[in-house]
Amino acid sequence: MNSTYNAILADAILMARGAGEVQLQFFRSNELEIATKQNDFDVVTAADKASERLLVDCINRLYPDHSILTEESGYSSHGNREWEWVIDPLDGTTNYSSGLPWFNVSIGVKHNGKTVAGVVYAARLGEMFCATLGGGATLNGTPIAPSGTPLLSKAVVATGFPYDKATNPDNNLDNFKRIMPVVRGLRRLGSAALDICYVAAGFLDAYWEMNLNEWDVCAAMLIAHEAGAYADRFRPDRNWSVLASNKVLEPQLTAILSQSTYGQ
């Protein structure tokens, strides 16, 4: 199936570039039409919606029987449940709406439940991360690999916080308090897909976050796996709660995250 996966990846790259152009047209403009969803922390813009329309239209035209899961529209099935596109049309919307450049479009493609192609494209940064199952991972066409950092005291890691952080005490602050003192640096970049891809490329040594959605991580986790990094859920609840790291640091971080009094 490698030729099929490669062909789908090529189409996904073109779609991602198109969505990136849409994002750049709206970026730092007066036409964002910023609104909120669940609460004031959960933002959506006109660019999210326009990017999603472009992607869904392209998929429906090229793969009319494939199913689609998107952040803004949810799940739609067109008959062929073997293939599913998992789309975040604009990951890092809070950054984007504030004029910060850490945002991207994320496109993952699943075949029989397994992710087989993934693209994460940060248009403002000019960074295109890609992978196919068994085909390795690249940044702008160059193969990538995670860092070899062996100790948390030498590691730069990233995290994020769930949208219900103000009302749910299971909000990652306990993990933050345990990890922050033992690492070289702790960052909050604001885009789950980019954070995971940066682990895959060795720019970050590790990343964890709770209560994400599949569209946030589908493509990026394939990219991490294909680069040779660790990427998996670190607890069974709170939706997609994900740890990505190089494989030396993973057991050290897993031991700390397992100390949480939540989700046990």
Instruction: Name the CATH superfamily housing domain 2-143.
Output: Fructose-1,6-Bisphosphatase, subunit A, domain 1 (3.30.540.10)
In the prediction, which pLDDT does 38 show?
52
In the prediction, which pLDDT does 41 show?
41
Whole-angstrom distance between the N-terminal and C-terminal Cα of the chain? 40
In the prediction, which pLDDT does 78 show?
67
Q: In what order do the strands lie in the sheet with 206-212?
A: 185-187, 156-159, 206-212, 240-245, 230-233
CA distance linking residue 85 with residue 250, whole number of Å: 29
> Is pTM, for the whole model, over 0.85?
yes
In the prediction, which pLDDT does 44 show?
62
Q: Which residues pair with 122 in a beta bridge?
A: 127
CA dihedral 111, 115, 118, 122 (to 10 degrees): 130
CA dihedral 229, 143, 83, 230 (to 10 degrees): 0
Give the residue among 69, 237, 106, 238 at the shortest CA–CA distance from 164: 238
The CATH 3.30.540.10 domain(s) of the chain lie at: 2-143
CA distance linking residue 160 with residue 211, whole number of Å: 10
In the prediction, which pLDDT does 29 show?
80
Residues in the chain: 264
SS3 category, 83:
strand
In the prediction, which pLDDT does 264 show?
59
In the prediction, which pLDDT does 30 show?
79
Over its C-alpha atoms, the chain yields an Rg (Å, rounded) of 18
The CATH 3.40.190.80 domain(s) of the chain lie at: 152-257
Query: What CATH class has 152-257?
Result: alpha beta
Q: Find all residues with CB under 8 Å of 161, minimum gap 6, and list them.
A: 171, 172, 173, 188, 209, 210
Could you tell me the CA-to-CA distances from 2 to 108, 143, 161, 188 in Å, in that order? 16, 17, 37, 36
Segments in the chain below pLDDT 50: 37, 39-43
In the prediction, which pLDDT does 35 show?
54
SS3 category, 150:
coil
CA dihedral 255, 261, 263, 264 (to 10 degrees): 70
